[in-house]
Structure 1
Amino acid sequence: MLRKLLLLFLSVYAMAVTAQQLYFPDTAWQIKKPAELKMNKALLDSAVAMALNSENKVERDLRIANMKSYAREPGYKILGPMKLRGGPAGLVIKNGYIAAQWGDINRVDMTFSVTKSYLSSIAGLAVDNGLIKNVSDKVNQYVWDETFEGGHNSKITWVHLLTQSSDWSGNLFGLSDWADRPPKEGNIDDWKNRKLVEPGTVFEYNDVRVNLLAYSLLQVWRKPLPAVLKEKIMDPIGASATWRWYGYENSYVNMDGLMMQSVSGGGHHGGGIFINTLDHARLGLLFLRNGKWKTQQLLSEKWISEAQQSSVANKNYGYMWWLNTTQDWKGISPKVYYAAGYGGNYIVVDKEHDLVVVTRWMDDTKIAEVINLIIQSTAIK
């Protein structure tokens, strides 16, 4: 017994010492000059200039942008809140400190599919808290209704939903899976009636199925997912009071006698997480620090590691985090991973260089070049 207590004390002490050695921001985030962080100012300035001068071409009125982007989808409609977007903004976090910033980092904007990485964290919390015993479990063991009935849908596991490889077939909140990003060529009826593939074998980006994951996690948590995120992650990491997470006007479900909104995993039909750049950076720093914030382990190291492992269906996709496994971002380590959303929204995590980079509304074709410049700026010995 004494030995166990001693080991526990040493473990807690080691965590405390490690936390003291690492900087975590309080309400006000400390800023350091590049030289103080052993960064090349000229290269860092070049990266910032490129990000500022490479604004994404999507319309400032995101309703118009969505209607144009998804015009081919049968019956496309906007069901959740949207807002006009701001201009390019971003942060470079080095060793936990702000090394560079540009644009309005306090502005709350839509973040589209970056929301998926937040949703993945809700699943991680469910695993860490024993609400989901194993991500390889079939989801119909947790969701009792007809959502996962049938020969195909009954095979779907949490892993399949997290890796966007379920090929779930059905209709959720008035949206059919087959209507989301149909092929550019061919007859829509052929696509609608296609033969379904085995769950886990084919990656397909599909927001209806991501919303299905959110709906399924609501059944597990039995309380609104934004409340879970706020209590378990956003408040402990010191996020502002300005972020919001929305679903659709018709995505309310009865949970234990209370009507709760099932949130969306992106802004494809509106909704998703609306958030500022600083709060994004806090989530990125949490992942950079393996799920630990100061002395609290908010997400298990095991989950952080699993979330960035290549999935069977797509080597460059983990649990709703994008990976650089095949080095599509040329010259950048395959260990770098990131959250990505429509319009050039990114949270990039580079543990090797102790970096978090957040960009808003940047040209997607420039992101790798910007990250490369930032990494090169850390080469001072």
Structure 2
Amino acid sequence: MRRIFVFLSFSLLLAASTSFAEEYFPSRFEWQTISPAQAGFNPEKLEQAKQLSISKTVVEPQDLNQVLLDNYTPKEPNYRVLGPTVPRKTPAGMVLKNGKVLTSWGDTQRVDMTFSVVKSYLSTLVAIALRDGLIKDVHDPVVNYVRDGKFDSGKNRAITWHHLMQQTSDWQGTLWDTPDWADRPVGKSLEEWQNRELYPAGTHFKYNDVRVNLLAYALLQVFREPLPQVLRREVMDKIGASNTWRWHGYHNSWIELDGQKMQSVSGGGHFGGGMFISAEDQARFGLLFLRHGKVGDKQVIPADWVEKITVPTEVRPDYGYMWWLNTNKRISKAPKTAYFATGFGGNYIYVDDTNDLVIVLRWIPEMADVINAFLDAQVVALK
């Protein structure tokens, strides 16, 4: 009986400590650390993974305005940078285990462009709109909420919030002086681009920043206040993020709404702009999802949203609601349930509930190799 009592007591203590580890969320200005031994990691392999991260970092050329022009001008008609850019300069990254810093490198407080990682922030605002009753259902046609002509055509009227988040809307039109077909055009000539094949909503996946920017515009119409203000109030302040992050649009994406001039932000840095943010704030955002939307005893975003964002898109099974999924084992050593936000130049937030890990990488194009190295450094997966 005594052995049973001791065993049960130990089990309860272990469960309590594990629960505490799962619930831990750093307060503003505070990051607890955890040693490799406490986290179940091999110190030598962990250091090797860190050094691999640094060696894989690409920060040259630093002028991202010129990088964008060099990369997209040969591929896209009338390409131009419409939003601000900042130079990239140094390696930076973080690995969280049980919400605590296992290792980090570089200037984790430096504010950098994050490109398409911001798409995951954008879809999070749909969760806020659903929670607050501003959107009734993700399968509602967007034309029910935005009635200024952008969704009035017969083809566009069928587009839902679900389609916009899965990038299967195939919306046809022009936004901020850029036609939908001009972003990553398919074909070899202007005639082919302008007369592209049209698809019913939900039947064809196309990674397209014009349509992502359309989601941002539609949400601006729903919230009727700038999206950075909504994100700060409803998410970033609640996760203890710094005040250094900025979310930009384009010089031509200003509108007047309710008598006030507001900027519609961009859902990436393809044309410049987007989210400028530090590795530490990115880590907090990733941890929010690892905790299923909870900070301490406060539910910041609906608990079931994590389940919704990780439902595979039917026509693109490795993509959810603006998060990439590991269903195809792109990261070979990671579980299929892992998911990640990605951005041009090698910006990532990796979320792994199985291993209780959040990994933030800056300017590392070879993401899979680096994350595999960190997973390899685990002696045992502790939950």
TM range (shorter): over 0.9
- Aligned partner of 2:282 in structure 1 is 280
Identity value in percent = 48
* Whole-angstrom CA distance in 2 between matches of 1:165 and 1:87: 36
> Are residue 53 (structure 1) and residue 74 (structure 2) matched?
no
- Aligned partner of 2:236 in structure 1 is 234
Asked if the contact 1:86/1:107 (under 8 Å) is kept, the reply is no
- Aligned partner of 1:316 in structure 2 is 318
Residue type of the alignment partner of 2:266: S
> Are residue 76 (structure 1) and residue 96 (structure 2) matched?
no
Asked if the contact 1:116/1:320 (under 8 Å) is kept, the reply is yes
* Whole-angstrom CA distance in 1 between matches of 2:197 and 2:148: 24
1:8-27 → structure 2 map (5 Å cutoff): 22-26=23-27, 27=29
1:292-337 CA-to-partner distances (Å, cap 9, x unmatched) read 0111101111112101110112100000000011112223211110
TM-superposed CA distance for 1:86, in Å, is 2.1
Residue type of the alignment partner of 1:59: P
**Aligned to 1:340, what secondary structure does the other structure show?**
strand
Residue type of the alignment partner of 1:200: G
* Whole-angstrom CA distance in 2 between matches of 1:21 and 1:274: 29
- Aligned partner of 1:247 in structure 2 is 249
- Aligned partner of 2:375 in structure 1 is 375
Equivalent residue for 1:168, pick from 166, 171, 176: 171
Coordinate RMSD, CA, aligned: 1.5
> Are residue 131 (structure 1) and residue 134 (structure 2) matched?
yes
Equivalent residue for 2:212, pick from 210, 231, 251: 210
* Whole-angstrom CA distance in 1 between matches of 2:128 and 2:19: 23
* Whole-angstrom CA distance in 2 between matches of 1:20 and 1:69: 44
* Whole-angstrom CA distance in 2 between matches of 1:194 and 1:22: 49
* Whole-angstrom CA distance in 1 between matches of 2:112 and 2:211: 24
- Aligned partner of 1:10 in structure 2 is none
Asked if the contact 1:20/1:294 (under 8 Å) is kept, the reply is no
Asked if the contact 2:59/2:90 (under 8 Å) is kept, the reply is no
Asked if the contact 2:248/2:265 (under 8 Å) is kept, the reply is yes
Seen in structure 2, the aligned counterparts of structure 1 residues 41 and 241 have a Cα distance that, compared at 3 Å, is same
294-303 vs 270-279, greater mean Cα deviation:
294-303
Asked if the contact 1:19/1:294 (under 8 Å) is kept, the reply is no
* Whole-angstrom CA distance in 2 between matches of 1:153 and 1:91: 41
* Whole-angstrom CA distance in 1 between matches of 2:236 and 2:330: 31
* Whole-angstrom CA distance in 1 between matches of 2:77 and 2:285: 35
TM-superposed CA distance for 1:68, in Å, is 1.2
**Aligned to 1:219, what secondary structure does the other structure show?**
helix
**Aligned to 2:56, what secondary structure does the other structure show?**
coil
TM-superposed CA distance for 1:19, in Å, is 6.4
- Aligned partner of 2:149 in structure 1 is 146
Aligned length: 362
**Aligned to 2:70, what secondary structure does the other structure show?**
helix
Seen in structure 2, the aligned counterparts of structure 1 residues 21 and 175 have a Cα distance that, compared at 3 Å, is closer
* Whole-angstrom CA distance in 1 between matches of 2:224 and 2:210: 21
Equivalent residue for 2:222, pick from 220, 223, 231: 220
Residue type of the alignment partner of 1:46: Q
Seen in structure 2, the aligned counterparts of structure 1 residues 91 and 20 have a Cα distance that, compared at 3 Å, is closer
- Aligned partner of 1:35 in structure 2 is 37
| Structure 2: stretches of 5+ with no match in the other structure | 1-17
* Whole-angstrom CA distance in 2 between matches of 1:242 and 1:319: 26
TM-superposed CA distance for 1:20, in Å, is 8.1
TM-score of the two chains, using structure 1 as the length reference: 0.92
1:183-198 → structure 2 map (5 Å cutoff): 183=186, 185-198=187-200
**Aligned to 1:148, what secondary structure does the other structure show?**
coil
* Whole-angstrom CA distance in 1 between matches of 2:126 and 2:32: 31
* Whole-angstrom CA distance in 2 between matches of 1:380 and 1:333: 14
- Aligned partner of 1:259 in structure 2 is 261
Asked if the contact 2:139/2:161 (under 8 Å) is kept, the reply is yes
TM-superposed CA distance for 1:278, in Å, is 0.1
* Whole-angstrom CA distance in 2 between matches of 1:232 and 1:360: 25
1:326-354 CA-to-partner distances (Å, cap 9, x unmatched) read 11222321111000000000000000000
- Aligned partner of 1:7 in structure 2 is none
Equivalent residue for 1:113, pick from 97, 116, 133: 116
* Whole-angstrom CA distance in 2 between matches of 1:172 and 1:82: 20
